[in-house]
Amino acid sequence: MKQVLYAYQKLNAITQRDIDLLGTNYKVSINAFFYRKKTGVLKALWKDFWKALFVWNKADFSLIVVRFAGYHGLIPLIFAKLNKIPALVIVGGTDAACLPGINYGNYRNKLLGFISNSNFRLAKNTIFVHESLIYQKYTYDVNEPSEQGVKAFYKGPLKPFVVHNGYDADVFKPIDNIERQPKACITAAGDLSTDVMVRRKGVDVILKTARLCPEFTFTLVGSLSLPSHYYPLPNNVTLVDFLGRDALIKAFSSHQYYLQISMFEGFPNALSEAMLCECIPVGSSVSGIPFIIGNTGVVVGKRSAESLANALKNNMIKDGKLARDRIKQSFTWEMRVNNFMSVIDAIEKETYK
């Protein structure tokens, strides 16, 4: 069986899906790049250098895959270049962004931006989860740079492929015996312990919107606490700790709206999964979010509580079945597998240059 080296920084649901997918055709060797502090980057790079000399050289890799551009891709991609092994970087969001106002995105930092560009220069082959991560005009927040995407910051050679995320409609589906509460909004925002995450996920806007819309309820999934300056919370806001898949499906099934009003995303999984559970989507005009929503919900053009409040109060779409049908028909797991593997095959067959 052919071998692939898969390099990543953090193991999560996204990276695990990649590993499982690649594992159908390859023996996958994973390389986790872990460090706690900035000073730990050099130590982690040294470990990769050692592995390149004494471990990877003994393997017969036919492909090197890096999930997200960054420090963790540097040594594997240099190794690929020196050994003439085809390489690929999967771009997911933060590696195509520069939002200095919230200290988010690889390109808000000159050194990390340089390292990311080095990843792209070494690999050339790239998979983007959505076309907008190649290049986009950014208008959602006027305080952030108006051009985003890799080509806004990297001018070198690039071979871009686009492979959208895919989902299993037999897993993510509404639970029939759970009553859906009208005017109930939910967002799966993840860890909200830092101001960067609160603002990037639009939770600060949601809190302001809650005060403008007392007739609505808002459930924030991922953390039981926020940074102290967001308190006291509005009475119609509930914080819920991290939920596993089954519990999250139950939560989606009891809410009418799913809010994805992030300042930046690539192709957010939670939005698509909530739509499969027949939540009506309300999202920001950022990257792949409007594309995912299509005509099944509402897109908010500007980052403000007033814009979100108007979207909720004036929304005329009342049937979440449209949202489920869109994901079920357009973004299946089978589509992702076929598209992803066709890109891999094309890269492997091409003569390395």
Find out whether the peptide bond into 232 is cis, omega within 30 degrees of 0: yes
Judge whether 327 and 167 are in contact, CB under 8 Å.
yes
Per the listing, tokens 């993510």 go with 172
The pLDDT tens digits for 140-171 are: 999 999 999 999 999 999 999 999 999 999 99
The predicted-structure confidence for 167-209, as pLDDT tens digits, reads as follows 999 999 999 999 999 999 999 998 898 999 999 999 999 999 9
More confident of the two residues 316 and 158: 158
pLDDT tens for 100-142 read 999 999 999 999 999 999 999 999 999 999 999 999 999 999 9
Lowest mean pLDDT among 25-29, 35-39, 219-223: 35-39
Beta strand pairing status for 136-137 and 147-148?
Answer: antiparallel
> Dihedrals φ, ψ of 207, to 5°?
-65, -40
pLDDT tens-place string over residues 255-287: 999 999 999 999 999 999 999 999 999 999 999
pLDDT exceeds cutoff 70 at 65: yes
Topology of domain 181-330, CATH: Rossmann fold (3.40.50)
Element (H, E) at 8: strand 3-8
Could you say which architecture CATH assigns to the domain 3-166+333-349? Answer: 3-Layer(aba) Sandwich (3.40)
Q: At residue 353, does pLDDT exceed 50?
A: no
Asked if the model's pLDDT at residue 37 lies above 90, the reply is: no
Q: For residue 11, what pLDDT is reported?
A: 83
C-alpha span between 140 and 284 (Å, rounded): 7
- Which residue would you say has higher pLDDT here, 235 or 11? 235
Q: Is the pLDDT of residue 250 over 50?
A: yes
Mean pLDDT calculated for residue range 4-32: 90
Residues of the chain with CATH 3.40.50.2000: 3-166+333-349, 181-330
